């Protein structure tokens, strides 16, 4: 798909202003809130918001709410994104105006990471309480690595990335990786974790697991790790995740087998108390995937949680054609 002449003029007009070009360059690095852009650009929020409104209307930028905050990111795909990538690639990194913005962006990141570290410290006890109910995390992660296969992966997608553990576990074997989560606070934790792991190619994006807005066959490895039991409609989430599996690719779903620990609903906001093999296989097949034998990691005690790893693949295009 290409831009029409009329649309091209509108895009050029939107991008062709110093502050708006600076905004585009910043969003090319990561999604940012209005207040963060205002701080970096040293301009009032109303003024920055006006620029963002024009960029959004032109299709160059997308906006999305997160609680009381409003965040912005570049158009994810299509001719608008191609235009941006090409244009911004022509500007040297040492451009004086942009270099000042980069430095201010680092200040914003430092503050964000400090807040994320504090959040992680305050909530670590809740995760530790849950982990104590099932097999050691190291055993679960070893099973995930084995189920994922040797790689390398062209594109890894972690849906509901949380603190980014899957990205740090598997990201080193992927050419590119995206972590999606609805919580900006958790995304900040994930940015800290992937940054400390030296995984600069991991992109953290705000997004809804029910409507990711990513293209079909986006990734050759899709992971949904300990997410489904929080959701009101896990079947729809599996369908969306399955849509994103590329030809010859694979999906991993890690969650709990059915259990009776009712306190998890109130203490940890679990909506579903585990999933059966039958329903998970049914959802995966409905998504056009070929389920593999589930992996079972038994609970450490009679009152604990059994971890399951369900995996499924999508046949390569040639294989499907032959069939």
What CATH number should be reported for the domain holding residue 79? 1.10.10.10
167 and 296, same domain (yes or no): yes
**How far, in Å, CA of 142 to CA of 129, rounded?**
21
What is the dihedral sign for C-alpha 142, 280, 211, 247? Answer: positive
**How far, in Å, CA of 300 to CA of 155, rounded?**
34
Q: Is residue 127 part of a domain?
A: no
Average pLDDT over residues 230-254: 94
178 and 218, same domain (yes or no): yes
What lies within 8 Å, CB to CB, of 320 at 6+ separation is 247
Q: Is residue 116 part of a domain?
A: no
- pLDDT of residue 321 exceeding 60, the answer is no
**How far, in Å, CA of 232 to CA of 259, rounded?**
17
List, for residues 23-42, the tens digit of each pLDDT value.
999 998 887 889 899 999 99
**How far, in Å, CA of 200 to CA of 191, rounded?**
9
260 and 148, same domain (yes or no): yes
The CATH code of the domain that includes 309 is 3.40.50.150
- pLDDT of residue 140 exceeding 90, the answer is yes
172 and 298, same domain (yes or no): yes
How do 295-297 and 219-225 pair as beta strands? unpaired
**How far, in Å, CA of 81 to CA of 290, rounded?**
33
**How far, in Å, CA of 99 to CA of 174, rounded?**
29
Tokens at residue 153, please? 């992966």
**How far, in Å, CA of 210 to CA of 238, rounded?**
9
Q: Is residue 19 part of a domain?
A: yes
237 and 93, same domain (yes or no): no
Using CA atoms, how far residue 171 sits from 216, 241, 309, in Å, is: 21, 18, 19
- pLDDT of residue 189 exceeding 90, the answer is no
151 and 289, same domain (yes or no): yes
**How far, in Å, CA of 269 to CA of 180, rounded?**
20
First-to-final CA distance of the chain = 31
Percent of the chain with pLDDT over 70: 90
Q: Which residue has the higher pLDDT, 147 or 8?
A: 147
160 and 209, same domain (yes or no): yes
**How far, in Å, CA of 214 to CA of 77, rounded?**
8
Q: Is residue 128 part of a domain?
A: no
205 and 295, same domain (yes or no): yes
pLDDT at 318: 63
CB 168 within 8 A of CB 199: yes
Domain count, the chain: 2
Q: Is residue 119 part of a domain?
A: no
77 and 149, same domain (yes or no): no
* Domain enclosing residue 182, as ranges: 133-322
- pLDDT of residue 224 exceeding 80, the answer is yes
Q: Is residue 52 part of a domain?
A: yes
Q: Is residue 121 part of a domain?
A: no
Band of pLDDT at residue 262, cut at 50, 70 and 90: confident
Q: Is residue 162 part of a domain?
A: yes
- The 10 Å CB-count burial string (b at 16+, else e) for 142-166 is ebbeebbeeeebebbbbbbbbbbbb
Q: pTM for the whole thing?
A: 0.69
Q: Is 227 helix (H, G, I), strand (E, B) or coil?
A: coil
Q: Is 91 helix (H, G, I), strand (E, B) or coil?
A: coil
233 and 167, same domain (yes or no): yes
142 and 103, same domain (yes or no): no
Q: Is 151 helix (H, G, I), strand (E, B) or coil?
A: coil
224 and 83, same domain (yes or no): no
Our measurement of the distance from residue 26's CA atom to the centroid of its chain's CA atoms, rounded to an integer in Å, reads 19
């Amino acid at each position: 798909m290409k831009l029409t002449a009329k649309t091209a003029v509108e895009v050029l007009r939107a991008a062709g202003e110093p502050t708006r070009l600076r905004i585009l360059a910043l969003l090319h690095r990561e999604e940012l809130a209005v207040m963060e852009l205002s701080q970096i650009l040293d301009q009032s929020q109303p003024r920055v918001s006006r620029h963002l409104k024009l960029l959004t209307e032109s299709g160059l930028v997308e906006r999305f709410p997160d609680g009381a905050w409003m965040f912005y990111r570049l158009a994810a795909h299509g001719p608008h994104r191609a235009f941006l990538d090409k244009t911004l690639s022509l500007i040297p990194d040492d451009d004086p105006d942009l270099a000042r913005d980069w430095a201010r962006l680092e200040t914003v990141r430092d503050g964000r990471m400090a807040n994320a570290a504090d959040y992680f410290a305050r909530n670590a006890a809740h995760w530790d309480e849950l982990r104590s109910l099932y097999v050691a995390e190291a055993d679960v992660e070893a099973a995930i690595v084995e189920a994922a296969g040797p790689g390398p992966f062209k594109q890894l997608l972690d849906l509901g990335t949380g603190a980014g553990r899957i990205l740090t576990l598997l990201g080193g074997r992927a050419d590119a990786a995206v972590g999606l989560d609805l919580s900006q606070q958790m995304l900040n934790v994930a940015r800290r974790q992937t940054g400390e792991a030296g995984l600069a190619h991991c992109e953290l994006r705000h997004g809804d697991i029910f409507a990711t807005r990513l293209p079909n066959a986006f990734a050759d490895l899709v992971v949904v790790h300990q997410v489904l039991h929080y959701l009101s409609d896990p079947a729809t989430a599996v369908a969306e995740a399955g849509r994103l599996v590329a030809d010859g690719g694979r999906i991993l779903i890690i969650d709990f087998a059915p259990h009776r620990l009712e306190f998890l609903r109130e203490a940890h906001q679990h909506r579903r108390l585990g999933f059966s093999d039958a329903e998970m296989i049914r959802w995966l097949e409905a998504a056009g995937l070929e389920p593999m034998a589930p992996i079972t990691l038994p609970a450490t005690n009679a009152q604990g949680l059994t971890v399951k790893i369900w995996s499924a693949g999508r046949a390569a295009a040639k294989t499907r054609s032959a069939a």
